[in-house]
A = this chain, B = another copy of it.
Amino acid sequence: MSEILVVGSLAYDSIETPRGKVERALGGSANYFSLAASLFAPVRVVGVVGQDYAPGDYEILRSRNVDTTGLTTVPGQTFHWSGAYKEDMNEAITKATELNVFEKFDPVLPAHYQDSKFVFLANIAPELQTKVLQQVKAPLFVGMDTMNFWISSQLPSLKKVLAKVDIVLINEGEAKQLTGTRNAIAAARLVLEMGPKAVVIKRGEYGFVMCTREQGYFILPAFPIPEVVDPTGAGDTFAGGFFGSLASLNRAPTVADLQQACVQGSILASFTIQDFGVKALAATTRAQLQHRVDHYKKVVATHTLLQ
């Protein structure tokens, strides 16, 4: 089993959905990712928080044996995102992005992080993603995410990161924005032209599209959930389950490994959206995940399709 290194945000999120609202709930890509990935493999996290970060919020990672040596606390406020979801629960409307302590973040990897084999550069500034990647000695498999904020403000830096990773996990709206197309199938191919060997486009309640240079498209629906409470973190959960699944195999991923990882990540995300913030994800067990995976096989009725 390999260790997974993740760099991303630790945040407080203020979220409003048709099902309710929360103020300053624990969130951030690194938190969602780490909680998800640590169900499968050891996780090392790099990030920065402010002096307002509650002691109990470190504990949630440590209770999962996530290595938090790479977390630094600095003067100032923790990253804060404020957003809402209207009728379309697949697309967040950002009200405010307060980078706060992330503005001057200069990530330095602890020595023992530098041999990490699986690396995920979650959704933070492309230059920070690059800085982290440069400090990893011999990564086996590197993935990244990004968002509209960086696509519109830092495209040249972003494209440099894209050229260095093995896989991009990105949501559908952002994949279209990045590639200037209105079709997710076309967007997937265009992302591959930017460098990575594989791309996963996350489609919210509709599931995902993976496209690999080696075998083309792999597309499946989301696990059916009749009521979404809060979609925040679903994409980071997907990425965490995806990388966890890969790292637990402890080898250079094959396309079949990537497919299996997509299914694990996608189904794990179906837990996250059933409550606000990290609450539902933090309470999810491997046994619960496996139960949904087994049910999912009936939902996509693989036996029928093999006839």
- Dominant SS among interface residues on chain A: mixed
Contact with B along A210-248 (1 / 0, CB 8 A): 000001111111001111100000000000000000000
Q: Which of B184, B218, B226, B304 contacts A301 (CB 8 A)?
A: B218
With both beta carbons as reference points, the residue of chain B lying nearest to A187 in the complex is identified as: B226
| Cβ < 8 Å to B, chain A residues 256-307 | 256, 259-260, 263, 297-302, 304-307
Closest Cβ–Cβ distance, residue A298 to chain B (whole Å) = 8
Interface size class of A (residues with CB under 8 A): 35 or more
Q: Which of B184, B224, B260, B307 contacts A304 (CB 8 A)?
A: B260
Q: Which of B221, B224, B228 contacts A207 (CB 8 A)?
A: B221
Closest Cβ–Cβ distance, residue A108 to chain B (whole Å) = 39
Measured CA separation A300–B303 after assembly (Å) = 12
Q: Does A203 contact B (CB under 8 A)?
A: yes
Contact with B along A26-47 (1 / 0, CB 8 A): 0000000000000000000000
The answer to whether B259 touches A182, judged by C-beta atoms less than 8 angstroms apart, is: no
| Cβ < 8 Å to B, chain A residues 138-156 | none
Given contacts A205-B184, A227-B186, is CB(A218)–CB(B263) below 8 Å? no
Chain B residue numbers with a CB within 8 Å of A299 are: 216-219
Q: Does A69 contact B (CB under 8 A)?
A: no
Closest Cβ–Cβ distance, residue A242 to chain B (whole Å) = 14
Q: Does A250 contact B (CB under 8 A)?
A: no
The answer to whether A226 touches B306, judged by C-beta atoms less than 8 angstroms apart, is: no
With both beta carbons as reference points, the residue of chain B lying nearest to A219 in the complex is identified as: B221
Chain B residue numbers with a CB within 8 Å of A302 are: 300, 302, 305-306
Measured CA separation A184–B189 after assembly (Å) = 28
Closest Cβ–Cβ distance, residue A234 to chain B (whole Å) = 14
Measured CA separation A89–B207 after assembly (Å) = 18
Closest Cβ–Cβ distance, residue A71 to chain B (whole Å) = 36
Closest Cβ–Cβ distance, residue A248 to chain B (whole Å) = 14
List, sorted by A's number, 5 A–B pairs whose CB atoms are closer than 8 Å: A183-B225, A183-B226, A207-B221, A219-B224, A259-B301
A-side interface residues toward B, CB under 8 Å?
18, 87, 89, 182-186, 189, 203, 205-207, 209, 215-221, 224-228, 256, 259-260, 263, 297-302, 304-307
Which 9 residue pairs are nearest across A and B when measured between Cβ atoms? A186-B226, A206-B206, A219-B221, A259-B304, A302-B302, A185-B224, A185-B226, A217-B224, A302-B305
